[in-house]
A = this chain, B = another copy of it.
């Protein structure tokens, strides 16, 4: 079959993983699970030449050095002059690929434990995308999470389902009802499109955005493996997510179910859960002594950390910052003074 073109989006800074993730060294470029950084692991998953073409990375100037330091051979990099959310970023990549290229859009800062399951889903999604479906990966939900959007399936199609609707982050009661009812998936932000079909759908539902991005590409400049969209044209583009701009409007939305050990590593609790633990559910990285602790994760970049008697707590020592949070409080990390004022 045709190669799949990975399109890796390298945008956010992961402020809920402060103080390890910082503006100067954000989440995708850190080895948060295992030895490889999340960005490297994202490239690794798409490195099999039998299935995948060389990747296209869409990023900002502030992350360019990290991307090029950790990137893979043959990688193209599109350097956004500013962030405009995912729909324009994907449109940039679509313009830089042949119209019949199958794009697999992946965030650069998620963890996926089961690569074969990921590849199988990518193949199924690619087949649907070749028929001009706008395809979303549907992550099998493991718990009534309130931090994710949900996708409700409609009737089956080969390799997946039509999408009945997208659901914004629900409250706990609704999330529980979704799991009880079945047919709901987490929206993990992974998509497959035929490049030309994506641009056609964008032009249909967001003609101004589509036109601005097209102009930014037309006036842009290639520089070796880098491509710089025109700053003025791209700056005039309306920012929006691919969910709002395309997925919720298209008549051809499809979902491919996948169970691949996925985590968005959205906060310290999610990271703790993604890591291997000892018998007490503890995880320690660095010079750490734990006494009477359970489900405690500690990581330190130098100072010795001694912990007595805690449960369900995350401790992070990074430079001149010490973070201590309950796992239940992990969602609030991004609003701490240290995370906001960096």
Which residue numbers of A lie inside 8 Å of B, CB to CB?
19, 289, 291-292, 300, 302-310, 313, 315, 317, 319-326, 328-330, 332-333, 336-338
Cα(A315)–Cα(B329), bound, Å: 17
Known: A329-B291, A329-B292. A324 touches B310 (CB 8 A): yes
- What are 15 inter-chain pairs, A to B, with CB distance below 8 A? A289-B337, A291-B329, A292-B329, A300-B322, A304-B322, A304-B338, A306-B324, A306-B333, A306-B336, A307-B324, A308-B326, A308-B333, A317-B322, A322-B322, A324-B324
Which among B302, B307, B321 is the interface contact of A306 at CB below 8 angstroms? B321
**Cα–Cα distance between A326 and B291 once the two chains are bound (Å):** 11
Nearest-Cβ distance from residue A321 to partner chain B, whole angstroms: 5
Q: Determine whether the beta carbon of B320 is less than 8 Å from that of A302.
A: yes
State in angstroms the CA–CA spacing of A19 and B322 once bound together: 16
- Nearest residue (CB) in B for A321 is B304
State the number of copies, please: 2
Q: Which residue of B lies closest to A337 (CB)?
A: B289
A303 touches B332 (CB 8 A): no
Q: A289-B337, A291-B336, A337-B289 are in contact. Are A306 and B328 (CB under 8 A)?
A: no
Report chain B residues within 8 Å CB of A329: 291-292, 308-309
Q: Which residues of B are found within 8 Å of A319, using beta-carbon distances?
A: 303
* With contact pairs A291-B332, A338-B289 given, residues A325 and B309 touching in the complex (Cβ less than 8 Å): yes
4 closest A-B pairs (Cβ-Cβ)?
A309-B329, A309-B326, A308-B329, A308-B325
Contacts of A305 in B (CB 8 A): 321-322, 324
Which chain B residue has the least Cβ–Cβ distance from A328?
B309
Contact A321 B303 (CB under 8 A): yes
A325→B307 contact, CB < 8 A: yes
Closest to A311 in B: B326
Q: How far is the CA of A300 from the CA of B320 in the complex (A)?
A: 11
When distances are taken between beta carbons in the complex, the residues of chain B under 8 Å from A19 are 306
B306 touches A322 (CB 8 A): yes
Q: State in angstroms the CA–CA spacing of A337 and B325 once bound together.
A: 24
